[in-house]
Structure 1
């Protein structure tokens, strides 16, 4: 069986990105390995998430990559963080300083609100509807 294992997210700085994803979003730091050339292999994922649902945080290493930081999906929501308790996670994330771009809304597919990561990439926080 095939599956999508990792997705790379280009970041400005490893440590600030790790701090945001672990502290503000509550992700687990799966791996942080020095590669010996000034780069690191950094993997984070939501707690309890399957092994195949993780982000590689890759520090931008040239001007083209630096320009892509925060705009990797052209301003569209590019990442979807599912939760089993929207209110709990929305409250925790808001308290941690995560910037939501809208009030939570109820859609046929679930409760959702768009937020930005520390670089401006847009995410949905989504609690799917029970029958979705």
Structure 2
């Protein structure tokens, strides 16, 4: 039985660009940085940035990380858009919350999530 998430690995093409995106653009703490492997703290979950092997053909699917901003969802969308992040579509409204989907610097899918107001 799984007791939680230990680490999420994301493939990256350009390590310094990815570390800058997760550290500066998203505002997460970079725990360590290397050429082939870097780690970012996602509120207690380690996000491992794993350099792609040169034989890999590029981004195309994979894990989706969902972040819950500590401010209003739309305020965070504005902040990220001002930082150059491109959102894929309008905010999706669901009974279980709102989702805003965007790409990281390496083409991986990311989302912002806001639960419904109680």
Q: Which bin holds the TM-score, normalised by the shorter protein?
A: 0.7 to 0.9
Q: Which runs of 4+ in 1 moved over 4 A?
A: none
For residues 32-59 of structure 1, give each alpha carbon's deviation from its aligned partner in whole angstroms, at most 9, with x where no partner exists.
Answer: 2x5xxxx44310133xx12xx1211111
Residue 58, structure 1, aligned to residue 59, structure 2: no
Contact in 1 for aligned 2:38/2:49 (Cα 8 Å): yes
Contact in 2 for aligned 1:23/1:96 (Cα 8 Å): no
RMSD: 2.1
Aligned to 1:80: 66
Give the unaligned 5+ runs of structure 1: none
Q: With structure 2 as the length reference, what TM-score do the two structures score?
A: 0.82
Offset, 1:104:
2.0
Partner SS for 2:4: coil
Aligned residue-pair number: 116
Aligned to 2:59: 70
Contact in 2 for aligned 1:78/1:123 (Cα 8 Å): yes
